[in-house]
Structure 1
Amino acid sequence: MEIRNPSPNLYNEDLAPARERHWGTFSIFNVWTSDVHSLWGYYLAASLFLLCGSFLNFVVAIGLGSLLIFFLMNLVGYAGVKTGVPYPVLARASFGVWGANLPALVRAVVACFWYGAQTAAASGAVVALLTRTDSIMEFHKTTHLLGHSGLEVICYVVVWALQLLIIQNGMETVRKFQDWAGPAVWVAMLVLAVGLCVKAGGFSFEHGIPQAVLLEKTKDAGVAGEPGSFWALMAVGATWVTYFAALYLNFCDFSRYAKDKDTVRKGNLWGLPVNLILFSLVAGVTTIAAYRVYGEVLLHPEQISARFDSWFLALLAALTFTVATLGINVVANFVSPAFDFANVFPRAISFKKGGYIAAGIALVLYPFAPWEGNAAGFVNAIGATMGPLLGIILVDYYRIARGEVDVPALYQEHGAYRYQGGWNLNALIATAAGALFSSVLPNLTSVLPSWWGTYGWFFGVAIGGGVYYALALLRPRAVAPAGAGA
């Protein structure tokens, strides 16, 4: 779709509706392989496995969670296919042409935190490999900078810089990279799992990890109940769903390049429930085998690969996991803030410049390392911030506008989405109400019970979306005409 006479403060070529749609089912599928097949994805899956207490519980909790993820991604993906616009532009329909900068910047800041977390995980794999050499291990132990070892800082900066090279030629380069990187990690995962099972003397679904060890490893997860209990399984499913909180918002950044809704649905089917369950199973099997071989719970794959007798296998595993983690960073944490920051100042910030800003913030965050600590806690705390935004956007698109968006008006300062001076007060009030219960009260006060934070994202979606719908009934707006933007 060509946009005629757009407002300069709302438009640039990167924010324009997609003109070419070459992404097929395999590319959509690989959005998810790139997103899940990372060191952080493995770490989270292995951590959640401990909370489940048994393999059957793990499959049920992860499986049900993955089906909900599939459903939500389809809702967001279909909006991207129909409108062809990126997330911050789609948000203008519900937040207003200027108000959309609020959800865009929230998503961008979250991406910066995740960008740093994933880069740190990837550089950690390189550190684990290099410290197999005595001289480098000595350097690692004796040299410190910015609260980390000198080796960790060097590896972080190198991995951080490598990611910038991937994005140089735009979204088509991202597609080609993820089409290769996503499947590659399956090879490393299977090598890791098979190698450990052979060492352990065979394949087993029985983890044999004593309850005392499980309690010790999960004591800081913020979950009520012992591993394997009903509430532990509920927490596992909730955390797994919340892990994708950021991509629920900006999956349309990718689906807008898809050929049609069927392409998105098929890609999501194979990339989400099927791929997620299989990936989680491999993570569980590997955790079991590693415990049988080494007698301890190893949640980080680089910790496992670093113990390989073969230097070549350790190198292969480290490189593959690093590349896979670069893949998720480019897909989830570079593309989105690139569009989000560009949306704030379209005249001055392009897609590339927006991505560089996100990478720069991640570099500044490194000395503070806010992502270190409990995996589930970090995922739930950071994911909860985006719950109200998703609730509002979905309610507006599917309930208020009935799936009809006036796409040209998204680029007009004085068009249908100007609301009150460019801001939709309904959306702002609903965001504040949702954020109060999803993020502020559970994370900054002790007013709510300790388990509340585990479900913060869900409360945010329900309260944000519910308040927005109620306000829309009280203060209705005109709906875009049928067929607009189709």
Structure 2
Amino acid sequence: MTIQGASPGLYNEDLAPAKVRNWGPFSIFNVWTSDVHSLWGYYLAASLFLFCGGFVNFIIAIGIGSLIIFALMNLVGYAGVKTGVPYPVLARASFGIWGANIPALVRAIVACFWYGAQTAAASGAIVALLTRTQWFADFHQNTHFLGHSGLDVICFFIMWVLQLLIIQRGMETVRRFQDWAGPAVWIMMLILAVYLCVKAGTFAITSDIPMDVLLEKTKDAGVPGTPGSWTSLFAVAAIWVTYFAALYLNFCDFARYAPDKAAVRKGNIWGLPVNLILFSLVAGVTTIAAWDVYHEVLIHPDQISAKFDSWFLAALAALTFAVATLGINVVANFVSPAFDFSNVFPRQVNFKKGGYIAALIALALYPFSPWDGGAANFVNIIGATMGPIFGVMMVDYYLIRKGEVDVEALYHEDGEFRFQNGWHVNAFIAAGIGAIFSTILPNFTDWLPAWWGVYGWFFGVAIAGAVYYALRQAALGAGVKAAKA
């Protein structure tokens, strides 16, 4: 679609509706292989395994969560296919042409946090490999700056630079990179699982990790109930759903390049419930085998590969995990802020410059490492911030507009989406109320039950969506009465 007379403050070539739509089911599938098959994805899956107390419980909880993720991603993906626009432009329909900059910046800031977390995970895999050599181990132990070991800092910076090289040639390069990076880590995950099962002398799907060890490892995660209880299983499913909170918002950044809804649906069904359950199955088997072999709870794959007797196998594992983690960073945490920052300053910032801004913010965050700590807590806190935005956008698109949006008006200052001088007050009221219950009260007060934070994203979606629907219906009703008068 060609936009006629677009306002310069709302339009550039990167924000325009997609013209080339060559992302078939395989490319959509590999959005998810790139997103899930990372050190953080494995770390989270292995961490959640501990809360389930057993393999069958784990697969049930992850399976339920994965089906919910599939349904939600289809909602977002279909909107991307139909409109052809990226997330910050679609947000204009509910938040206003200028108001959309706020949800765009929220998503961009979250991406910067994740960008740093994933880069640190990738560099950690390389550090684990290098410290097998005594010289590097001594350097790692004795040299420190910026609050980290010198080796950590150097490896982080190298990984940081490599990601910038991938993005140099735009979204088509991203597609080609993810098409091989995602499957590569699947192969390495299977090698890891087979290696440990061979060393353990058995293939086990029954966990023999003692309950006292599970309790010790999970005591500070904020998940209610003991491992294996129903409350823990519901929490595992909720955390798994919340892990994808950022991509619920901006999956349309990728789906808009798909030719039709069928391509999105096929890519999603293989990339989400099928791929997620199989990936989690491998993570569970590997965690059990690692306990049987080393009598330690090892939930970081780089910790496991560092124990390999074969230097070659350890190097192959470290490099594969590093590449895979770069893949998720490019897909989930570079593309989105690139569009988001470009949306705020379309005349000054294009796709590449927006991505560079995100990378620089992540680099500045590194000395503080806000992503350090438990996986479940980090996922819940970060994810909850985006629930209210998602609730408002989906209610607006599907319940208020019935899936029909005037795409051209998204690029005009004086069109349908101007609302109150470019800001839709009702959307911000709804999102603000949702944020109080999803983020502010559970994280900064003790007014709510301890388990509330685990479900913060869900509360944010439901409360913000319901408030927005009520406000819109009231506004529409008032408009009808005024017209009749």
| Counterpart-to-counterpart distance in 2, 1:248 and 1:478 | 32
Aligned mates of 2:478, 2:275 — CA distance in 1: 41
1:209 aligned residue: 209
Look up the match of 1:382: 382
- The AA in structure 2 aligned to 1:146 is L
Counterpart of 2:249 in structure 1: which amino acid? L
1:449 deviates by 1.2
Matches within 5 A, 1:75-474: 75-474=75-474
| SS of alignment partner, residue 334 of structure 1 | helix
Q: Please state whether the residue corresponding to 2:476 is helix, strand or coil.
A: coil
1:190 maps to amino acid: L
Matched AA of 1:436: I
Give the match's secondary structure for 1:475.
helix
Match of 1:483 in 2: none
Q: Secondary structure at the match of 1:226?
A: coil
Task: Quote how far apart the aligned CAs of 1:185 are.
Answer: 0.1
Question: 1:115/1:307 Cα in 2 relative to 1: closer, same or farther (>3 Å)?
Answer: same
Question: For the structure 1 residues 416 and 143, does the alpha-carbon distance in structure 2 shift closer, same or farther, using more than 3 Å as the test?
Answer: same
1:475: Cα distance to partner?
1.0
Alignment match, 1:17:
17
Tell me the residue number matched to 2:26. Answer: 26
CA displacement, residues 310-358 of structure 1 (integer Å, 9 cap, x when unaligned): 0100000000000000000000000000000000010000000000000
Indicate the SS of the match to 2:419.
coil
1:477 shift after superposition: 8.9
Distance, in Å, in 2 between the alignment partners of 1:471 and 1:478 is: 11
Paired AA for residue 345 in structure 1: F
Amino acid at match of 2:403: G
Query: What letter corresponds to residue 234 of structure 2 in structure 1?
Result: M
- Letter in structure 2 aligned against 1:311: W
Alpha-carbon deviations, 1:58-110, whole Å to 9, x = none? 01000000000000000000000000000000000000000000110000000
Question: Structure 1's 178 and 470: CA in aligned 2 closer, same or farther, altered over 3 A?
Answer: same
Gaps of 5+ in 2: 480-485
Percentage of identical aligned residues:
75
Give the Cα separation in 2 of the matches to 1:393 and 1:353.
Answer: 26
| Cα distance between partner residues in 2 of 1:424 and 1:136 | 55
Q: CA deviation at 1:440?
A: 0.4
* Cα displacement string for residues 227-282 of structure 1 (whole angstroms, at most 9, x for unaligned residues): 00010001100000000000000000000000100000000000000000000000
Q: Which amino acid aligns with 2:447?
A: V
What letter corresponds to residue 150 of structure 2 in structure 1? G
The letter of the residue matching 2:61 is: A
Q: Provide Cα deviations, 1:377-435, integer angstroms capped at 9, x if missing partner.
A: 00000000000000000000000001000000000000010000000011010010000
- Aligned residue for 2:482? none
1:167 alignment partner, SS class: helix
The CA distance in 2 between the partners of 1:157 and 1:329, in whole Å, is: 14
Aligned residues: 479
C-alpha distance in structure 2 between counterparts of 1:478 and 1:66, whole Å: 41
- Residue 203 of structure 1 aligns to a residue in which SS? coil
Relative to structure 1, the CA distance from residue 138 to residue 478 in structure 2 (aligned partners, 3 Å threshold; closer, same or farther) is farther
The Cα RMSD (Å) is 0.9
What CA distance in whole angstroms lies between the structure 1 residues aligned with 2:16 and 2:224?
47
Residue 39 of structure 2 is matched in structure 1 by: 39
Could you tell me how far 1:221 is from its partner in structure 2?
A: 1.0
Aligned partner of 2:51 in structure 1 is 51
CA distance in 2, matches of 1:184, 1:72: 27
- Counterparts of 2:295 and 2:369, CA distance in 1: 29
Closer, same or farther in 2 for the Cα pair 1:477/1:86, shift >3 Å? farther
Tell me, in whole angstroms, the C-alpha distance in 1 between the residues paired with 2:332 and 2:66.
18
Change (3 A) 1:79 1:21: same
Q: What is the letter of the counterpart of residue 461 of structure 1?
A: V
| Partners of 1:193 and 1:386 in 2: CA distance | 35
Provide the rounded CA distance (Å) in 1 between the counterparts of 2:465 and 2:312: 52
| Residue 478 of structure 1: how far off its partner (Å) | 12
**What secondary structure is seen at the aligned counterpart in 1 of 2:417?**
coil
Give the match's secondary structure for 2:240.
helix
TM-score by length of structure 2 reads 0.98
Runs of 4+ in 1 over 2 A off after TM superposition: 476-479
Q: CA deviation at 1:209?
A: 0.2
Corresponding residue SS for 2:105 = helix
TM-score normalised to the size of structure 1? 0.98
Task: Tell me, in whole angstroms, the C-alpha distance in 2 between the residues paired with 1:232 and 1:134.
Answer: 42
2: CA distance, partners of 1:28 / 1:82: 16
**How far apart, CA to CA, are the structure 2 residues paired with 1:444 and 1:363?**
27
Cross-structure match for 1:484? none
Q: Whole-Å Cα distance in 1 between the matches of residues 313 and 231 of structure 2?
A: 39
Deviation at 1:476, TM superposition (A): 2.2
Return the offset for 1:223: 1.2
Deviation at 1:468, TM superposition (A): 0.2
